[in-house]
Structure 1
Amino acid sequence: MAQIGYINYLVGTFILSGIFLLRYDTGTYRVAKMKRELKWARFAGWSNIVLGIVTFGANWVYENFFW
């Protein structure tokens, strides 16, 4: 049974925002030598990527085993 939902958009948003944070914000903070902001940008970027992967995995488990 095909189901239309918004989880895939959420996963994409989490992962893309994490990549953009790691790519652009960390570079900007590194050049400006803002150590605290660099650390938090890395944390936020990796957190978004991990949240995207966990959300994808949880959705896959739900679709395959519980639905």
Structure 2
Amino acid sequence: MYIGYLTYVILICWVTGGLILLTDVKAYKNASLKKEHKVSKFLGWVNISIGFGLITTNFIYLHFMW
């Protein structure tokens, strides 16, 4: 039986990335803050990408390394 915290970390990455994209990006765009808009957009997608990267890494580890 496998009980771990990785699924929670992935979920947190996805939720925080989505919240950044839904709230901060729109707020900075409406306020015409270009640098903050770009940085928050970048960080939101990085968070979501980290979640997918963790899923991929976990799959490779469980099926090919272990």
**Normalized against structure 1, the TM-score is what?**
0.92
- Structure 2 residue runs of 5 or longer lacking an equivalent are none
Output the amino acid matched with 1:16: V
Alignment root-mean-square deviation, CA = 0.8
Which one scores higher on RCO, CA 8 angstroms, separation ≥ 6?
1
Q: Tell me, what secondary structure is at the counterpart of 1:3?
A: coil
Q: Tell me, what secondary structure is at the counterpart of 1:33?
A: coil
| Alignment coverage as a number of residue pairs | 66
Distance 2:3 2:59 in 1: 14
Distance 2:6 2:59 in 1: 10
Give the deviation of 1:64 after TM superposition: 1.8
Distance 1:58 1:17 in 2: 20
1:16 has 2:25 as partner = no
